[in-house]
Chains A and B, each alone.
Chain A
């Protein structure tokens, strides 16, 4: 158990819909990273937040957005969902951005 929690574990939704994925980092960790794991693209970095502020963006679509709240949990919002958005979404947390990242168990999103 890494100490990072993600909810929900599974999510099934239809094309065009909007979903929110939630991540609670380990106690004391200020950095939260979001990654997407898909069969064709592999594991890709989406976005990084540090202490409530966005610090870096990777291959994140404009339909996707994220935020980190004052209690340091983070949410990833995916809208206008397409079949190709079906993937495992992981969050990882670390104390600071130079420290080891600990991964949550992931949320499996299926878009039908």
Chain B
């Protein structure tokens, strides 16, 4: 079946450190891949997405590249800020083969950034 595996947290970093959160997926066909962010007490916000192999999604200094050969979509940021503290979810969505567009999420990775 379709699934997403992301690194367990929590991840604690100092401000301006480099961030990587690993995400790998299993899916039939060609899914779209997403990173969502959930700030404390809020709903999920789309951070970035990629819809085909080798696409790079980017937003607010975060980047992730759709790697079909390694079935991965790792999230990176060169210099994190305290305001980046949140829970990050990797997700996939299949648009064909019986799917109706629902998202399949990883378990989430909590990031804490210390000043």
- Does B associate with A? yes
Which chain A residues have a beta carbon within 8 Å of chain B's beta carbons?
A: 2, 4, 31, 33, 35, 42-45, 48, 50, 55-56, 58, 90, 92, 94, 97-106
User: For the complex, would chain A's binding face be called helix, strand, loop or mixed by DSSP majority?
Assistant: strand
| Least distance between A66 CB and chain B CB atoms (Å) | 13
Q: Is the CB of A50 within 8 A of B105?
A: no
Q: Which residue of A lies closest to B32 (CB)?
A: A98
* Residue in B36, B104, B106, B107 whose beta carbon sits within 8 Å of that of A45 in the complex: B104
Tell me whether B69 is interfacial, beta carbon within 8 Å.
no
Q: Which 10 A-B pairs have the closest CB atoms?
A: A97-B101, A56-B100, A103-B43, A43-B105, A45-B102, A103-B44, A42-B107, A55-B100, A105-B43, A97-B100
Asked whether B45 is an interface residue with its Cβ less than 8 Å from the other chain, the reply is yes
> Which residues does chain A contribute within 8 Å of B104, judged by CB atoms?
45
Contacts A42-B107, A42-B108, A43-B89 given: A94-B101 contact, CB under 8 Å? yes
